[in-house]
Structure 1
Amino acid sequence: MPRIIPLLEHYPPYQLVHAAEMLRDTFEQFYQQRYQLTVPQWRLMMVLGPHYPISQKELVETSGMDKVRISREIRRLVAKGILFTENDEQDKRISLVSLTHQGLALFVQLKEEAGSWQHTLTDYLPGAFREAIRQHLHTVSSAIEQLQSLDKEPQE
């Protein structure tokens, strides 16, 4: 578990990153022990579940992960028998990714488990704080999107 750096403990961007790292570590430990999945593999499963077959390009766009990581994780999940790939019939250059029967069964479990994992986490939060944190995280995400759009504006 990452430890707090005292100099930064009251700096909001650091606090968010630290909380996210702790959450990710806990999340990954849970899914690694239970399903032998990493966080990126879990994320791919959650994108693929309701939308397969899907191209690797669409996976990059939807998951927010880079194409090298997606390609690597697809190979690993294919080796586990969870995914399979095939060429698109209309455009042979496009590789489509789908869940196997085993992968679909796993997706159903992961989807159900995600809700219970979230409830387990929020059980440790005071009741009034649960909705407030959702709203605050949404507000922070919106502010970050605005900052990112400013960075993309052409410089004069």
Structure 2
Amino acid sequence: MPRSNKNTASKPLVNLTESVAFRLLLIGNLLARPFIERIAPQYDLSLPEWRCMVVLAAEPGLSNKEISERTGLDAMSISRALRRLNRHRRLVVVSHPIDGRRSINKLTEAGLGIYIEIATSAAQRETEMLSGLTVHDVKAIVRVLEQIERYLRLDRSC
């Protein structure tokens, strides 16, 4: 029989709260909080819908699969978000000009207008968030995040 340890009940065997992965999740949650608390209700917009809008504003005409690849969200979440954007006339789905079997997504004028309003505010918030960092610090953060992203895109064991 294993020995009982008085600390086992109050302390986990492995503390992940200081891990890089946990901190990245925490930062993601903190970054999303203003969106969830203010922007989502104001625009009747979910976070997956917003993520779709972000990539479609940058690259109009993406397929559902391409949006999924760029956002890291699963296909079902993308499909639901795009259907809702389409229902609210923020997105139009059209046939690909060359491959008519394939559908592509584009923001409507209304969708693009909402994107611009939210993106302007998001860019200001990012500027404020990074204001205490040097250009070198920001470049280092971006470089490390790119390395982590590359690894996670290749690692299918998670």
Report the TM-score, using the length of structure 1 for normalisation. 0.72
Cα distance per residue 1:73-122 (max 9 Å; x no partner): 00011111101112224322101111122112222222322212323544
User: 1 CA distance for matches of 2:137 and 2:77?
Assistant: 30
Show the counterpart of 1:113.
Answer: 121
* Residues 108 and 60 of structure 1, relative CA distance in 2, 3 Å threshold: same
Structure 2: segments with no counterpart, 5+ residues: 1-11
Please, which of 80, 85, 88 is the counterpart of residue 96 of structure 2? 88
CA shift for structure 1 position 58: 2.2
Say whether 1:37 aligns with 2:41. Answer: no
**How many residues end up aligned between the 2 structures?**
143
Structure 1: segments with no counterpart, 5+ residues: none
Show the counterpart of 2:76.
Answer: 68
* Residues 57 and 122 of structure 1, relative CA distance in 2, 3 Å threshold: same
Cα distance per residue 1:23-52 (max 9 Å; x no partner): 223332232133222221111111111322
Greater shift, 61-70 or 131-140, is seen at 131-140
* Residues 143 and 90 of structure 1, relative CA distance in 2, 3 Å threshold: closer
* Residues 54 and 122 of structure 1, relative CA distance in 2, 3 Å threshold: same
CA shift for structure 1 position 14: 2.1
Identity %: 27
Rg larger in structure: 2
* Residues 98 and 149 of structure 1, relative CA distance in 2, 3 Å threshold: closer
Show the counterpart of 2:3.
Answer: none
Cα distance per residue 1:97-150 (max 9 Å; x no partner): 111221122222223222123235446xxx2x4656634533432453575588
Show the counterpart of 2:142.
Answer: 138
- The answer as to whether partners of 1:28 and 1:39 remain within 8 angstroms in 2 is yes
CA shift for structure 1 position 69: 1.3
Q: What letter corresponds to residue 68 of structure 2 in structure 1?
A: V
Instruction: Say what the alpha-carbon RMSD is for the aligned residues.
Output: 2.9
Show the counterpart of 2:54.
Answer: 46
Q: What letter corresponds to residue 64 of structure 1 in structure 2?
A: G
* Residues 130 and 150 of structure 1, relative CA distance in 2, 3 Å threshold: same
- The answer as to whether partners of 1:87 and 1:94 remain within 8 angstroms in 2 is yes
Show the counterpart of 1:12.
Answer: 20
